[in-house]
Amino acid sequence: MILVLNGPNLRRLGTREPSVYGAETFDDLAALCRDTGRKLGHHVEVRQTDDEAELVGWLHEAADGRIPVVLNPAAFTHYSYALRDAIAQRTAPLVEVHLTNPAAREEFRHTSVVAGVATGTIAGFGLQSYVLALHAIAEIKRSQP
């Protein structure tokens, strides 16, 4: 299993600033992730929350279960030390993803407090950021004994 966890406002994809985030919906994203997982031989569960505490709880669940994670922390990326501390407890690969390239956006988006405890970060490729992250996790899992 691979968890795909999404932070605040991502359920609003398709209606939230489509000029920035695209016209695809959250349902499109979830279907793409599940389909990609199937092709890679993994079950993918996609979740979204606007609640920081719930996201932290899901990260604890992943750590306790040694479950790999694709995480779009959204706005929590830039200030949530609680999220960072939860990610630091990970026991399996965790790839941070972003639809857009934060480094090419407003200055406050340039810093990720979670990147330093993630396995890696993929950003700027729209929904394909998730596909790339799922491929990365599948490859890491394949190469582990």
- Specify binding-site residues for substrate: 72, 78, 85, 99-100, 109
**What is d(CA 84, CA 87) in angstroms, rounded to the nearest whole number?**
5
List phi, psi (to 5°) of 122. Answer: -125, 125
**Which residues lie across from 123 on neighbouring strands?**
98
**Three-class SS state of 97:** strand
Numbered residues of the known binding site: 72, 78, 85, 99-100, 109
Task: Establish whether 42 is a catalytic residue.
Answer: no
In the set 43, 60, 79, 98, the catalytic residue is 98
**Which residues lie across from 121 on neighbouring strands?**
96
The one-letter code for the residue type at 89 is Q
Task: Establish whether 98 is a catalytic residue.
Answer: yes
DSSP letters of 11-59? GGTTTS-HHHH-S--HHHHHHHHHHHHHHHT--EEEEE-S-HHHHHHHH
Q: Which helix (H) or strand (E) holds 4?
A: strand 2-6
Q: Provide the annotated active-site residues.
A: 21, 98
